[in-house]
Each structure stands twice: as structure tokens, then as C-alpha cells.
Amino acid sequence: MQLKNPVQQLFRQLLDTLENLSDTQYSAPVDLLSGATIGQHIRHIVEFIQELDKGYESGTVNYDRRTRSHALEVSRSLAIRQLLEMFHSVDRPEKDLALIAHLTAGDAGPVVIPTNYSRELLYNMEHIVHHMALLRIGITVLTTLSLPPQFGVAASTLQYRQACAQ
């Protein structure tokens, strides 16, 4: 699958970063992120991939029903374990899926949208990069850790920057 390596590269960047943070840094609120923590962003990333894994098995993906695990928000070691477990889960054959989403708050029912595994994995890649950009802010505020230049930057932006530099 074409997406396996790019997704695994993002997981590797996250794992490398988490291994270089302290438990205190992982769970410290960051004012620039409206008080959110590194752990909350990691939890969000992990739970979206977990929902895709569940949806692959059932045929129906519903990101709204993710667990929102407080343990994952505060335990850096748990986050590392779960990212390692997910590392190989992204190499699945293509499959048609249904995406269920609530588009408005209140009594409106969910919509059901036809999708497939590759499309949802691509969505998750873009979602991960977005949160990595936010993580970069939090890590810069909390630590002196040097992140790679591609951390939290979309592949298309990296390509554009490279073309401009030539």
C-alpha cells in the first residue's frame, strides 16, 4: 500500500519525540495551545487511528465515538506502546467502508458517507500532520528539544519549499 511508509514515518517522528520528552512535559498544559497538553494531542491522534482500525473490522468508521482516554493523555509510556502497536496496523488491503459523522450538534442524526480504507488513512495522515504542527508549538514552549524540519509540515508544503529553493 502506498500510504504505509508515509504513515509509519509520521509514527516514527512521534515515537522519537515522545522518547525525548519527560512525563512532566508530556502532561503539562501549554497556554499557547489553550491549555491543552502534548498528551491530549497524542491521545487524539492515537484514538483516530484506533477508530479507523475498528471501522476496518466492522465496515463502519465513526471518529465521533472515540474513547477519549485520560490514561493516554497522562501516560507517555502508554502512548509509546499504543503507537508501536499501530505501526504495523496501517498495512491493510483496500476495503470499502462507511463513514458515520455528526455534522451538527443537537438532535440532527448522523450522515453516512461512502469511503474506503485508503481515503480514511490519508485523512488520518493529514490529521496527524495538523496535530504535529500544534505539538511543535507545545514542544517549543516546554522544551529545548530540536525537532526535524519536516515535523508537522505537510508533504506538499515540503515539496513546494524545495521547489522554491531551487
Q: What is the pLDDT of residues 55-86, one digit of tens each?
A: 999 999 999 999 999 999 999 999 999 999 99
- Spatial separation of the C-alpha atoms in residues 60 and 114, rounded to whole Å: 9
Q: What percentage of residues in the chain have a pLDDT greater than 70?
A: 99
Q: What is the dihedral of CA 52, 58, 60, 66, to 10 degrees?
A: -50
- Spatial separation of the C-alpha atoms in residues 117 and 60, rounded to whole Å: 10
Q: Which domain holds residue 157?
A: 4-165
In total, how many domains does the chain have? 1
- pLDDT beyond 90 at 88: no
Q: What is the CATH number of the domain that holds 66?
A: 1.20.120
Q: What is the pLDDT of residues 10-51, one digit of tens each?
A: 999 999 999 999 999 999 999 999 999 999 999 999 999 999
pLDDT at 78: 98
Span 91-105, mean pLDDT?
93
pLDDT at 9: 96
Q: What is the pLDDT of residues 138-156, one digit of tens each?
A: 999 999 999 999 999 998 8
pLDDT at 1: 65
